[in-house]
Amino acid sequence: MAKKEVDDRFKKFGTVSFTAITKTNDFVDYLEKGKVMGTKCKDCGALYFPPRSDCSKCLDSNMEWFEVSGTGKLMSFSELKYGPVGFEDDLPYTIALLDYGNHKVFGRISKEIPFEDLSIGMELKTKTTTLPNGQLGYVFERV
């Protein structure tokens, strides 16, 4: 008998993924196509980033994908000089939070932006990236 196929696409997300199986696995396919996607509840219109497969507002599971587009305001950031196990080769790197108005996105700042150039309130955009180890992710870039 053939082994049951496991949909573990999510293990491709980020430098080290700690999750392999999730109903939001399509997020990874979208990353491969160059799109960073959140989810929207078809019933009540609630927007979610990071994406969710279930709506906590109306307790329904009727979601559709939307693309994170345009620019977001930099809410805060921090450059790490030490990393957890598995991230040593990436150091130093800068994590950050962008505010898109109706949702926010947490991620990393592109290494192409010098740390000194960062300031809270500046506009950045979210772009997909392939990491040096072949994993998929996204970074915040200059507009």
Partner 1 sequence: MGKVGIIGVGQSSFVRGYPGSIRELAFDGFKEAMQDAQIQTKDIDASIIASAPEYDKQRSPAGVIAEYLGLIPQPTFYIESICSSSSTAVKVAYSMIKAGLHDVVAIIGFQKMSEISSSESQERMGRGADIQWESPFGTMMPAYYAMYAQAHMDKHGTTLEDLARIRVKAATYGQINEKAVYRKPVSMEMFTDPESNFSAPVAKPLRVGDCCANADGSSCIILANEKKAKAMSKKPVWVLGIGAASEAVNMAGRDLLTGLTVGIEAGKQAYAMAGVTPKDIDVAEVHDCFTIAEMMAYENLGFAQPGEGKDLIASKETYKEGSIPVNVDGGLLSKGHPIGATGGSQIRTIVLQLRDEAGEMQVKDPEIGLVHNIGGVGLYGNVTILGR
Can you give the binding site for partner 1, defined by CB under 8 A? Answer: 10, 13-19, 22, 49-50, 75-87, 90, 93, 95-97, 103-108, 115, 119-121, 137
Cα 10 from chain centroid (whole Å): 12
* Nearest distance in Å: CB 11, partner 1: 10
* Nearest distance in Å: CB 120, partner 1: 4
DSSP string, 13-62: BSSS-S----TTTHHHHHHHTT--EEEEETTT--EESS--SS-TTT----
Cβ proximity to partner 1: between 3 and 94 the closer is 94
* Nearest distance in Å: CB 96, partner 1: 8
